[in-house]
Amino acid sequence: MRLRLAALAAPVLALSVLTQSGLTAGPALAAKDELVIGINQFPSNWHPSIEAMMAKSYILGMARRPLTAYDADWKLTCLLCTELPSVEKGTAAYETRPDGSKGVRATYTINPKAAWGDGRPVTTRDVLFTWEVGKHPQNGYSNTDLYSRDIVAIEVRDERTFTVHRDKPVCDYQSLNDFALLPEHIERPVFEADPAAYRTRSAYETNTTNPGLYAGPYRIASVESGSHVVLEPNPGWWGPPPPFRRVVVRAVENTAALEANLLAGQLDMIPGEAGLPLDQVLAFEKRNAARYAITYKPGLFFEHIDLNFDNPVLADLRVRKALLHAIDRETINKQLFGGRQPVAHNEINPLDRVHVPGYPTYGYDPAAAAKLLDEAGWNQMRGGIRHNARGERLTLEIMTTAGNRSRELVQQVLQSQWRQAGIEARIVNEPPRVLFGQTLRERRFKGMALFAWISAPENIPRTILHSGMIPTAENGWAGQNFPGYRNPAMDRVIEDLEHVCEPDANRALWAELQRIYAEDLPNLPLFFRAEGYILPPWLEGVVPTGHQDPSTLWIENWKAKQ
């Protein structure tokens, strides 16, 4: 089970901010030793385990290495460790604990050359400290269950080798993707001073350019909040030499301005992970295909609408079904996205091995929507808007991040189509650092929120669908179940999926999860996105993954063509 990354757009950032920043434009450099990347959002924080955002993940992919990650072939691989644990090789084993409970242990060895940017080696002291922080009940981690529930013990074998004991005989025992190591020598004093305040006082927030925070090819050398980040080679990096003297990541938090900056020569590239919406890339390609290398990658990008179940209107399943029946998603895909963003009927992408067809679907059917709304009591039409017997108007707020031209256009289409069904949708958008950093995380949105989850292959959606992952003040707003969705049957399936590994039984559980999702509609599925990458013709080695582990995790393989 992994956390989900949210892919959100952001507000307008004037072009003058970029041209006055004092940073040279990438295409003007003859030596090509600097790479300037444009993304659509500036991260709201820098801690690797707090607030899961693709923009942050993309940047930290150059400066950190997870223990394990999925590669571009969707295969689990070691990045910070030397070899994946294996039952066959004896580095993993299913076990029975003294109390009779079943579990699994897996042994990892950190790369013996791995070091933080200040020269301190990455060791098992960092592993134990990371687990200590992750277990704290008020840490605000997105995937708090990994630390507080899944891992029951960590056994240190030597300075670089450790064994993780899981609470169940989990099927994905090899994966530690979300176990983001922290530098114990820097973070322990901060954490011990006030664990409850650690999320805001971490060195990642107060001393972001400290080299000791990073263990990747690059380190963050400077940060101009809301504008840009400069990364420079990490002297402690143990792998192939990083390809560029400097990497600049500029946040142009309006997609029209982002494109304009690229054409003006202020940027070298715009990545698919956190760049332009697909419709904008398609239009860009028609005009500029000769100047850029443009590629598309379909993947595990789930565009959807989260619903606040505390809103009694949305708590009614009939209303949720009616909302979906009233949307013509096929036409939106064809007209806005050139048919490249297939309609999502479930949260599991058909590209994923664990997708099992056969669940209910909700095609465009205005008559069915009308019938459901009548049954839900919204059966009086006044001025084109439905009302109930108490005279209440069927009005719902829908939010997304300001500045994403594509999402704002989709919002307007949804608003129009719902209006035809007698549903009034009020658009209330916010800057991304507000929407995702506070409004969603603290469940302050009143009705609906349009954004995308980005997942890993075969990801069990515990963080977004399990009732134990609803953010609250008591748990430090940990978890990603923003709707507040609760279903004991879904909880049981999610829990069983983690340790029922026999192929037929496992597939049956995946089928059950997708059936329950389709029947409950904890959110409204819209599309599975394809991401468009706009690259300079002189750059090679960029390989999109199609999932939440960004291409920057392999930036040491990028290079300028000679």
pLDDT digits (tens, 9 = 90+) for 193-243: 999 899 899 999 999 999 999 999 999 999 999 999 999 999 999 999 999
Whether the predicted pLDDT of 7 surpasses 70:
no
- Whether 46 shows a pLDDT value over 50: the answer reads yes
**Last residue of a domain, which of 140, 170, 200?**
200
Q: Percent of the chain, pLDDT > 90? A: 81
Contacts of 435 (CB under 8 A, 6+ apart): 8, 399, 400, 401, 429, 445, 449, 451
Q: Does residue 88 register a pLDDT over 60?
A: yes
Number of residues that make up the chain = 562
- b/e map 293-312, b = 16+ CB within 10 Å: ebbbbbbbbbbbbbbbbebe
CATH code, domain with 366? 3.10.105.10
Within a domain: residue 144? yes
367/513 same-domain check: yes
Range of the domain at 72: 65-200
Calculate what percentage of the chain has a pLDDT beyond 70.
94
How many domains is the chain partitioned into structurally?
A: 2
**Between the CA of residue 57 and those of 22, 69, 274, 393, 429, what are the distances in Å?**
25, 13, 10, 41, 23
Confidence check: pLDDT of 6 > 70:
no
- Reported as a pLDDT band with limits 50, 70 and 90, residue 97 is confident
Average pLDDT, the chain: 92
| Shared domain check, 312 and 193 | no
Examine residue 466 and state whether it is found in any structural domain, yes or no.
yes
Asked if pLDDT for residue 24 goes beyond 80, the answer is: no
pLDDT(96) > 70: yes
438 belongs to a structural domain: yes
Q: 386 pairs with which residues across the strands? A: 381
Instruction: Tell me what pLDDT residue 3 has.
Output: 57
pLDDT in tens, 267-286: 999 999 999 989 899 999 99
Q: Is 258 inside any structural domain?
A: no
What is the arithmetic mean of pLDDT over 403-413? 89
Q: How confident is the model at residue 2 (pLDDT cuts 50, 70, 90)?
A: low
Distance from the first to the final alpha carbon of the chain: 42
Those residues with Cβ within 8 angstroms of residue 196's Cβ, 6 or more apart along the chain or in another chain: 136, 138, 476
The reply to whether 270 falls in a domain is no
Say if residue 12's pLDDT is above 70. Answer: no
pLDDT value at 18 more than 70: no
- Whether the pLDDT of residue 30 is over 70: the answer is no
Q: Is the pLDDT of residue 25 over 60?
A: no
Domain identity same for 311 and 460: yes
- Statement to judge: residues 460 and 314 lie in one domain: yes
Across residues 476-503, what is the average pLDDT? 94
Q: Domain ends where: 200, 220, 253?
A: 200
Do residues 372 and 516 share a domain? yes
Arithmetic mean of pLDDT, 98-124:
96
pLDDT the model gives residue 409: 93
**Predicted pLDDT at 432:** 77
For the record, the structure tokens of 298 come out as 């379909």
- pLDDT of residue 38 exceeding 60, the answer is yes
Residue 9 reports pLDDT greater than 80: no
Does residue 248 belong to any structural domain of this protein?
A: no
Instruction: Categorize the per-residue pLDDT at 61 as very low, low, confident or very high, splitting at 50, 70 and 90.
Output: very high
Same structural domain for residues 356 and 486?
yes
DSSP letter for 159, please.
S
Is residue 448 in some structural domain? yes
End-of-domain residue from the set 146, 181, 200: 200
Same domain? 378 vs 493: yes
Confidence of residue 10 (pLDDT cuts 50, 70, 90): very low
Tally of CB atoms within 10 A around 335: 12
Any domain includes 128: yes
Residue 412 has pLDDT above 80, yes or no: yes
pLDDT higher than 60, residue 511: yes
Residue 343 and residue 485 in one domain:
yes
pLDDT of residue 471: 93
CATH at residue 88:
3.90.76.10
308 and 427 together in one domain? yes
User: Residue 139: what pLDDT?
Assistant: 77
